[in-house]
Amino acid sequence: MLILYDGTTSVCGIKARVTLAEKGFDFESRNVDLRKGEQFAPEYLKLNPNAVVPTLIDGEEIIVESSVIIQYLDDIGTDGPSLLPKTPLDRAQMRLWLKRIDDPIHPATGTLTHATAFRPLFLKKSPEEQKAHFEAMPDPARRARQEAVYKDGLDAPIVANAVRTFDQFVKDAETALTRNEYLAGPAYSLADAAATPYINRLDVLKLLSVWQTECPNVMGWYDRIRERPSFKSMITDYMTVEDVARFEAIDDSTADKARQILQQS
Ligand SMILES: N[C@@H](CCC(=O)N[C@@H](CS)C(=O)NCC(=O)O)C(=O)O
């Protein structure tokens, strides 16, 4: 059976879980508690030297990088529906969405999430624990982003860039969804599976309302995505009581700040 090392609220983990469900795979999910730093455990680093989730184990094989994982799952899941668009042009669009979601959307998501939902927990750590956390991170760019938002929250200068990055992403998704029912053509594809956790993250950070009026097709797409069985089983049902509490503690000030940033742009 396939094994997925992931995290309950990890956007990249959700990307892989949603694809597993859409393809109809049975799999074992092994939770890596990122808030406790389990991604830095030596046994886990042997699987994923980048100290991140997800990691997929297929027999003797280890596959890392969420966009690579979901394409691998589509390749091996020949019993399930193909999540590759039918035409070369739609496939190109799908690959562009995957690339863009990897970068810059994923780092922007980390910036917004760590500045809001995860910051209070981090600030409760002792100075020694905080230092050890940063020292364990192999990627200096990720470390710099987290340091900035744990220090200054939504006032960190990188937050404005993250909000603008999302603004362009949601508006481009609106354009795509005006032409088609799904992001890369008329059928659900890996592009939709990959985008799902990121639009959901805007929702749980109470940020999606920023684009409510301007992007009705994105809202309609998200409604349809939420009706798919993979949404409840792979996103909602995975949230622990602590996860729910962390996101529920976020108030409207995050959206107010985003609106302010976009008005100044
Ligand atoms: N490019 C990687 C990024 C993976 C990633 O950033 N995962 C996050 C969770 S969504 C993580 O494990 N973070 C650990 C940390 O922040 O220390 C992928 O797509 O798999």
In which residue ranges of the chain is pLDDT below 70? none
What's the fold here for domain 2-76? Glutaredoxin (3.40.30)
At CA 51, angle to CA 50 and CA 56, rounded to 5?
A: 85
Alpha-carbon gap, residue 42 to 227, rounded angstroms:
39
Contact between 118 and 247 under an 8 Å Cβ cutoff? The reply is no
Cα(181) to ligand 1 centroid in Å equals 29
Q: Is the pTM of this model over 0.75?
A: yes
Write out residues with Cβ below 6 Å of ligand 1: 7, 10-12, 34, 39, 52-54, 65-67, 102, 106, 137
Cα(95) to ligand 1 centroid in Å equals 19
Contacts of 195 (CB under 8 A, 6+ apart): 97, 101, 173, 183
The pLDDT of residue 265 is: 76
Cα(144) to ligand 1 centroid in Å equals 15
Contact between 200 and 14 under an 8 Å Cβ cutoff? The reply is yes
The residue nearest atom 6 of ligand 1, judged by CA position, is 52
The pLDDT of residue 33 is: 95
The pLDDT of residue 244 is: 96
Structural domain boundaries in the chain: 2-76, 88-264
Alpha-carbon gap, residue 229 to 112, rounded angstroms:
27
CATH 1.20.1050.10 fits 88-264, yes or no: yes
Atom of ligand 1 nearest to the CA of 7: 9
The pLDDT of residue 21 is: 98
